[in-house]
Structure 1
Amino acid sequence: MFSIDNTSLLFALNVAILGLAALIASLKYMEIYEFKSKIPYYPTLIVFIASMLFIPLVRDWLVFLFLWETMTFSSYLLIIYDWPEERVRNTGWKYFVTMHIFCTLPLVIGVALYYISKGSFAFAPLSGTYATAIVALFLVGFAAKAGLFPLHFWLPDAHPAAPSPVSALMSGAMVELGLYGSIRILQAVNWSVSPWIVNLILVMAVLSMLAAIFSYGIQDDVKSLFAWSTIDNMGWLYLLVVAGLLGASGVEKGISYYVLAHGLAKGAAFMTTGALLYVFGTRSLSKMKGMINADQLTAGLMIASIFALEGVPPFNFFLNKLNVIKTLLTVNTTLAYFVAIEWVIAFILFLRIIHRYVISEGKPEAKRKLAGSITAGVVILLVLSMVSQFIANYIWVR
């Protein structure tokens, strides 16, 4: 029922690192909530982390589905942690319903068909009458969790609603498990599917990236900004899936490396939003304009997190994004050029945000001094972002 390979180990490592950083950052961050929540934060957070840790390790679809639902329910509880806010409650309801219609339901039907086809829930090669239907159902369910266009509509609201350490876990680990599930079901059919499935994934991935590009410039909520970056990066990852379906080699390795680098960078970015909220008491970029003049440490973490997320050396995410382009060049040069141009545009847009809000004129009022535990959580992830490639290489070779 349980097994570990290179892919599952890197996905689990990503969860473990982000989970530890989230727990550290939460120690002081949760002080911003001045009410007594109905949701027990730390027990729920631990269940959330544990379910995500076990998902990459199971080799039984029924157990996988149980852990998947545990992850979904615990994440829902954490999203609605700030329950006095009606907006938060509505966002949680939207997330929960969306996940069960577009994610859990297709997976339940797919697992049932899998059992009918195989007579077992164990991971195994898949072929026969139901193979295409099973793959399609699984991919829909996993794409919904990954926030792939047009099933992305829940993500820009749900991730900002949760406490920032939870947002880091959701954007840096949970959505990526949707990609992990996609890898496992594609392994079952030896990365061979109907052309219409390949084309559908391709269109969804490209539209995810375009939707993010058109959304970056209109965001004022810093957490929504980084939520759209998650949608963008899921587009990148699913284009790697497309490359694998078109015959490119080394795709599973490339995806696993990208997941670890993205998880660390995205975790740092969302924990930095927690630092901003802790220090300035707002998520509005316009209200924090000129933040470097009020708190250089917090502003510095913001700049570093953006650089890590956009793949600026010395952060190793640069190598992973470059590998996507190199892989796409082997199967479709047009896609490779598109991804490269999108990368440049996204970086320019984020650089504009730095100049407009971080190092611009103005001096927002700092309500608190940044807590050491929040700083530690962000710094740990940023440092690991500089060596993620070496970590991934060491694990993969072993």
Structure 2
Amino acid sequence: MFAFDFTLTYDKISLLFALNVAILGLAGIIASLKYMDIYDFKPKIPYYPTLIVFIVSMLLIPGVRDWFTFLFLWEIMTLSSYLLIVYDYPEEKAKNAAWKYFVTMHLFDTSPLILAIVIYYAVTGTFNFVSFADYRDVIVLLMFIGFAAKAGLFPLHFWLPDAHPAAPSPVSALMSGAMVELGLYGSIRILQAVNWSVSPWIVNLILVMAVLSMLAAIFSYGIQDDVKSLFAWSTIDNMGWLYLLVVAGLLGASGVEKGISYYVLAHGLAKGAAFMTTGALLYVFGTRSLSKMKGMINADQLTAGLMIASIFALEGVPPFNFFLNKLNVIKTLLTVNTTLAYFVAIEWVIAFILFLRVIHKYILVPDEHPRAMRKTALNIAFSVILLLVLSLVSQFIANYIWVRW
């Protein structure tokens, strides 16, 4: 008989992860009401029911306290996200991206998690979240591989730049702003079970994958023409930042769980705003190509303004609170490895410069006048503005929950 107790319990960590999902889910539903008009085929997949299942599964995952239910909800999240990626089935790129995602998730995500949970059950006699010591490195490594694949950490990132752009933009916002972060949540829970103590080679493995994720993003930013691919690479970049916080925790830094939770909320809001803005661009201009929207501010000032604001929020420009979260990563790394702290600071500056180039090259071009197919949908604009406003106060929200819960 299985030894597990299904309960939903939200502590301060899981509540911040779930809050991020809830906000993005609400914004995604609101944005979808008009955005879905861009699809002119008869859908094979019921969009809203599938979207609701996707959101609910992500809301429940942080609340469970046993790996059996966790894995069940994890698979529901994976399957529903797969269906949403392939929603635009007449588009060959969507079908290919969805297939790559489906295969990758079951080879490198679900399979390692299943094997890890089987060993975990054999060692502990329960599926419940409990501390353990036997086969510590084996279980942690397998779970790390599974969660890193979902988070899009290098070299398991290869599915992400195709899958996130293929999905409808509100879904892209949820995938990049909420789903991949749940890989971090799973990593926190398994590391709590071993008291944040693993062999040095695992720490070095996570460190190398995180750094390579950030470098891969830096080298990819400048060659992106697809606006959704641009923000997808930013997700890979930020996963590197978050897993460096994990490394800091494994090296003995304090306050890492708080730092990750705060970062997840701030990143989720900013990334959600960015992808919702790509939805506005698609709705107005009918393309994802930045070169075809060159000089967009001359055709649609509102959408162009939202794009600039979303980039500033995502790159941690004050007064957006993501600045404080990125600063905290550097501050935390300084306590364990100054070289890493300097690397992250320099990478932050380079990424910001590359995104400023996007603003200059594609948005603020006075002599270009792209053709707008329609005006910005107010519900899409509202979703972006809502997320941007919350990005200004995310630190206060997180502080209130962390102190009060």
1:96-111 equivalences in 2 (<5 Å): 96-111=102-117
In the TM superposition, what is the alpha-carbon distance from 1:166 to its structure 2 partner?
0.0
Q: What is the CA-CA distance between 1:86 and the residue it aligns to?
A: 1.6
In structure 1, what is the equivalent of residue 155 of structure 2?
150
- Aligned-partner residue type, residue 83 of structure 1: Y
Q: How far is the alpha carbon of 1:27 from its aligned partner?
A: 0.3
- Residue of structure 2 equivalent to 1:327: 332
- 1:335 alignment partner AA: L
| CA positional deviation for 1:118 | 0.6
Of 186, 203, 217, 2:208 maps to: 203
Q: Does 1:317 pair with 2:326?
A: no
- The residue type paired with residue 380 of structure 2 is I
TM-score normalised by L of structure 2? 0.98
What displacement does 1:126 show?
A: 1.4
Task: Show the counterpart of 2:372.
Answer: 366
**Distance in 1 of aligned mates of 2:339 and 2:136:** 31
Alignment correspondent of 1:121 = 127
Superposed displacement of residue 3, structure 1: 1.1
Give the match's secondary structure for 1:10: helix
Residue 47 of structure 2 corresponds to residue 41 of structure 1: yes
Partner of residue 250, structure 2 = 245
Q: SS of the counterpart of 1:393?
A: helix
Between the aligned residues of both structures, percent identity stands at: 82
In the alignment, structure 2 segments of 5+ residues that lack a partner are: 1-6
Matched ranges for 1:55-134 at <5 A = 55-128=61-134, 130-134=135-139
Unaligned runs of 5+ in 1: none
Q: Aligned pair 1:278/2:278, yes or no?
A: no
Matched with 1:346 is 351
Q: Do residues 222 (structure 1) and 218 (structure 2) align?
A: no
Q: Give yes or no for the alignment of 1:53 onto 2:59.
A: yes
Within the candidate set 30, 35, 38, 2:36 is matched to 30
How far apart, CA to CA, are the structure 2 residues paired with 1:4 and 1:52? 13
What's 2:4 paired with?
Answer: none
Supply the distance in 2 between the matched residues of 1:256 and 1:208 (Cα, whole angstroms). Answer: 20
CA distance in 2, matches of 1:31, 1:363: 24
Q: Which amino acid aligns with 1:374?
A: I
For 1:348, the aligned partner's letter is: I
**Shift >6 Å, 4+ stretches:** none
Matched residues in 1 for 2:294 and 2:8: separation? 50
Q: Which residue of 2 aligns with 1:265?
A: 270
Residue identity matched to 2:9: S
Q: Distance in 1 between matches of 2:162 and 2:196?
A: 33
Task: Verify the 8 A CA contact 2:136 2:198 in the aligned structure 1.
Answer: no
Partner Cα distance (2:18, 2:305) in 1: 29
Q: Deviations over 1:94-148 (max 9, x none)?
A: 10000000000000000100100011100000111x2211111000000000000
What CA distance in whole angstroms lies between the structure 1 residues aligned with 2:360 and 2:327? 26
Equivalent residue for 1:381?
A: 387
Shift in Å at residue 351 of structure 1? Answer: 0.2
1:178-204 Cα offsets, whole Å, 9 max, x none, are: 010000000000000010000000000
The match for 2:185 is 180
Q: Secondary structure at the match of 2:19?
A: helix
Paired residue type of 1:33: Y
Residue 51 of structure 1 aligns with an amino acid whose one-letter code is: S
State the distance in 1 between where 2:363 and 2:298 align: 9
Shift of 1:224: 0.1
Residue 36 of structure 1 deviates from its aligned partner by 1.1
Q: Residue 159 of structure 1 is aligned with which of 164, 173, 193?
A: 164
1:301 Cα deviation from its structure 2 partner: 0.3
What is the DSSP-based 3-state SS (H/G/I as helix, E as strand, rest coil) of the residue aligned with 1:259? helix
3-state SS, counterpart of residue 149 of structure 2: helix
| 1:231 match | 236
**Alignment pair present for 1:5 and 2:19:** no
Query: How far does residue 333 in structure 1 lie from its aligned partner after superposition?
Result: 0.2
Amino acid at match of 1:311: G
Q: What's the TM-score, normalizing by structure 1?
A: 0.99
The separation in 2 between residues aligned to 1:300 and 1:214, in whole angstroms, is 26
Of 280, 288, 293, the residue aligned with 2:293 is: 288
Q: Displacement, 1:4?
A: 1.3
- Count of residue pairs the alignment pairs up: 397
